[in-house]
Amino acid sequence: MSGFSLAPIRKLFKKRRMAKLAKRLNNQVKDNTNGNVLTPEERDEAIRFYRETTGMKIDPIYHNYQKEKTGKFYKEYIPDDLFYNYIDPYFNRIKERSLDNKCYYDLLFAGFAMPKSYLKRLNGIWFDGEEHAIDKEAVNAVLLSHPAVFIKKAFNTGGGKGVFYLSNESDDIVSRFWEIIGRIDEDVVIQEPLKQHAALSRVNESSVNTIRVLSMLRPDGSIKIYSVVLRMGMAGKKVDNASSGGITCGVNLDGHCKEAGYYSYVNGGKRLLNHPTSGMPFKDIFIPNMDKIIAFVEKAAVRIPHFRLVSWDIALRDDGEPVLIEANFYDGEIDFHQLNNGPLFKEDTEAILREVFSK
């Protein structure tokens, strides 16, 4: 058996996994595209650009999707399959995913404002907000001492999955809690609901509407912000995730939202000018303290250097201070960034592609 290596087998499994992901993403985009809107010249330009920068032949279905929804063509649009298969793993150490556990946020991001943790379950053991191990009766007592709580899975809450809201007013909170917990095998954190700033509550009051900020930690230690998007829930919904029916709108660095917003491609990528349930025009939405939000992200990003390209979900508390809701260490959605703000990496696209695909 000397000289035997598992490397070729691992490489084959990785190739198959990447092909499966690419097929799923491609089909998702095709299902939400009504036809071909690229001109032959645009199609050739996109294919040529990616051949020159990556050495790969792309299917320009993502360029077609973006142009159909926004009316704009850029050869620099990043295809989803290239992002998730190559770019994201290049900048983010997926092997270090154990750091991406919401139960450890209080340690990892100590000193940053976050929703208060009432309870945590780690490796089957319950802890209170002071990190003391407790029994089931103490868990029940904590639940009954608060008017409402959010239950969040410690991993994989993308799209709002694994997030549950319980209220002492409308639920038998204890029995409902253990019913939900019984369906979750992994770590969980139970947190306080957040009271958001009035400017965001006016957009949709039932959900905490978060600001998604995409940051890059560069080799020299500086941080670059590539995209800012406001994520908004719908009336009656407690989550703002685009793939759970929410909508997004691009945000300028001065805090003013752009004229149009979009559904995620999971929901057809439809373009909107007003919030569907509150009726508020997106162009009238102003997010206060954007300078504080950006400074918050820039400071937090250096805490996790193994993850250089991070999508941060930041809420704005009722007193105007930024609060960390979630840090998406990897697999951050990119379709709504590009729908709202154009090519993901802007003027850095060519340099980033050449860096990633030259390795």
Alpha-carbon gap, residue 264 to 240, rounded angstroms: 12
Closest among 292, 313, 288, 294 to 194, alpha carbons compared: 313
Per run of 10 residues, the mean pLDDT along the chain (length 359 residues) is 51 60 72 86 98 95 94 96 94 86 93 97 96 96 94 75 84 91 95 95 93 97 97 79 74 97 82 94 97 98 96 97 95 91 98 94
What is the chain's alpha carbon radius of gyration, rounded to the nearest angstrom? 21
Domains detected in the chain:
7-91 (no CATH), 95-100+195-357 (3.30.470.20), 116-191 (3.30.1490)
Give the CA distances from residue 342 to residues 26, 78, 91, 141, 151, in Å, rounded to whole numbers and listed in that order. 19, 10, 21, 49, 34
In single-letter form, the type of residue at position 285 comes to I
Q: Are the CB atoms for 242 and 264 separated by under 8 Å?
A: yes
pTM confidence score: 0.90
CA atoms within 13 A on the CB side of 130: 4
Q: d(Cα 69, Cα 72) in Å, to the nearest integer?
A: 8
d(CA 64, CA 71): 10
**What's the pLDDT score for residue 77?**
98
Which one, of 153, 235, 245, 243, lies nearest residue 191 by Cα?
153
195 residue type, one letter: K
Half-sphere exposure (Cβ direction) of 146: Cα atoms closer than 13 Å: 23
Which one-letter amino acid corresponds to residue 150?
F
Rounded Cα gap, residues 146 and 277, in angstroms = 30
Beta pairing partners, 249: 230, 261
Pairing of β 223-232 and β 247-251: antiparallel
**Contact of 321 with 292, CB cutoff 8 Å:** yes
Q: Which two tokens stand for residue 119?
A: 């309870």
